[in-house]
Structure 1
Amino acid sequence: MTVLAAAVALFGSLFFALGAALQQFEAADSAKPGLLALLKKPRWLIGGVSITVGGGLHIVALGLGPLTVVQPMGVASLLFALPIAAGLHGRRPSRRELAAAATVAIGLIGLVLLVPAHDGPTYLSPQGAATLLAVAGIAAVLLWAGAKVASPAGRAALLATSAGVLYGATATLMRVLVDGAWNWWYLLALPVPALLALVLLQRAYAVGHFGVSFASLQIADPLTAVAFGALLLGEPLPQGIAPIAAAALTAVGTVALARTTPLEART
């Protein structure tokens, strides 16, 4: 069952990577990368369906095998996404680009595997939920503002990180909903950060540095969820030098991606 779980998760990563690459291709090729304009593009919608399928397969994989096996397979989407995106833009990814992506993936896998398991009940008070949304919103706005004055690669990274923070907040709120300890307004609030994250991510994709934006999203989303889990849900954080080394590796890989991934945007 563990081997099957890994295979399903890996297949899910392929769908997720394909969907992200399709959506980035349309966003980068659009004069107006707003969500309403992109919803009219069939290829962008197909990308959304592919991402949904990938997420569904990831959930199935979690039901078949342990998190320590499934999560690393999910990170593989970065290594799938770069060649797919490059092919859509009519080029081949360079060895340096793939090496940088592999560095990010290794560091992110290390971070994911180092997070201690938490088997206790998940409860978030209304005040905690309000804090969650407020902190995520403020962080997203600050990152968005910073993107206004950044270089193209920095803009892609900051916008995608902003989206990742909001997705991480959404994931935390979803966990509370799944565990049953929630108020009715949690359900109403849930789509807000998710929709804002989707809009910001398309803005990041439109910049053109797909490798940078996708890697930043892959890093920010789980780390935000871990941080909120520790601050608001009382979950443990990883200890020691290993998580610091893993974080440094992801940072080095992301910087390398910014230097090696070409700008692929509408001209």
Structure 2
Amino acid sequence: MTVLAAVIALVGSLFFALGAALQQFEAAGTAKPTLLTLLRRPRWLLGGLSILSGGGLHIVALGLGPLTVVQPMGVASLLFALPIAAALHGRRPTRKELSAAGLVAAGLIGLVLLVPESEGPTYLSPNGVLTLLAVAGIASVLLWAGSKIASPAGRAALLATSAGVLYGATATLMRALVDGSWNWWYLLALPVPALLALVMLQRAYAVGHFGVSFASLQITDPLTAVAFGALLLGEPLPSGLVPIAAAALTAAGTFALARTSPMEARH
């Protein structure tokens, strides 16, 4: 069952990578891609369906195998996404791009595996939800503002990081709902960070540096969820020098992608 879980998670990563590459291809080169515009593009919708399929397969894999096997397979989406995106834009990924992506993936796998597993159900109070939304909102606005004065690669990274923070908040709120922290307005609040994250991510994709934006999203989303878990739910954080080394790898890989990832616009 563990082998089956790994295979399913790997296929899910491929679907997720394909979906991200398709959506980036449609958003690339657009000054301010709106969801209404993108929703009228069949290839962008196909990308969304592929991402949902990848997420569903990841959930199935988690039900069949241990987290320590499934999560690293999920990180493989970065290594799948770069060649797919390059092919859509009519080129081949360079060795430097793939090497940088490998650094990010290695560091992210280390960080994912080092996070202690939470014990017991998750409870998030109404004040905790308000704090979650406020912190995520302020952080995302600051990152969006910083993107206005950044280089193109920096703008892609900051916008995708903003999306990752909002997705991390969404994941934390979803966990609380699944574990029984029930309140009717929690359901109303849930789509807000998710939709804002989607908008921010499409703006990051529009810049054209797909490797940078996708890597930034892959890093920020889980790390933000871990940070919120520690801040609001009292969950443990990894300690020691190994997590620092893993974080340094992800930072180095993302910086290298910013230097090697080319600007791409939709043809």
TM bracket (short chain): over 0.9
Matched, 1:184 2:184: yes
Q: Give the Å deviation of 1:3.
A: 0.3
Gap regions ≥5 residues in structure 2: none
* Separation (CA, whole Å) in 2 of partners of 1:32 and 1:99: 31
Q: CA deviation at 1:29?
A: 4.3
Distance between the aligned counterparts of 1:85 and 1:23, measured in 2?
A: 10
- Once the two structures are superposed, the pairs formed by residues 114-153 of structure 1 within 5 Å of their partners are 114-153=114-153
- TM-score between both structures, scaled by the size of structure 1: 0.98
CA deviations 1:69-90 (Å, max 9, x no partner) are: 1000000000000000000000
Equivalent in the alignment of 1:62: 62
Q: Is the 8 A contact 1:31 1:266 kept in 2?
A: no
CA deviation string 1:41-72 (max 9, x = no partner)? 00000000000000000000000001111000
Residue correspondence of structure 1 range 1-267 to structure 2 within 5 A: 1-30=1-30, 32-265=32-265
Q: CA deviation at 1:120?
A: 1.9
Separation (CA, whole Å) in 2 of partners of 1:266 and 1:15: 21
C-alpha RMSD of the superposition? 0.9
Give the match's secondary structure for 2:91. Answer: coil
Using the TM superposition, give the Cα deviation of residue 190 of structure 1 relative to its aligned residue in structure 2, in angstroms.
Answer: 0.2
The separation in 2 between residues aligned to 1:234 and 1:265, in whole angstroms, is 44
Q: Does the CA contact (< 8 Å) of 2:32 and 2:203 recur in 1? A: no
User: Which amino acid in the other structure matches residue 45 of structure 2?
Assistant: L
The one-letter amino acid paired with 1:111 is L
Aligned residue for 2:224, secondary structure, equals helix
CA distance in 2, matches of 1:216, 1:32: 20
What CA distance in whole angstroms lies between the structure 2 residues aligned with 1:232 and 1:121?
13
Matched letter for residue 44 of structure 1: W
Once the 2 structures are TM-superposed, how far is the Cα of residue 266 of structure 1 from its aligned partner? 5.1
Q: Deviations over 1:12-42 (max 9, x none)?
A: 0000000000000000044541111100000
Distance 1:119 1:31 in 2: 45
SS at match of 1:145: helix
- Residue aligned with 1:63, SS: helix
- SS of 1:182 mapped into structure 2: coil
Percent identity between matched residues is 85
Q: Structure 1 residue 182: deviation in Å?
A: 2.2
- Given that 1:28 and 1:265 are in contact with CA atoms closer than 8 Å, whether structure 2 keeps it comes out as yes
C-alpha contact 1:111 1:246 (8 A) present in aligned 2: yes
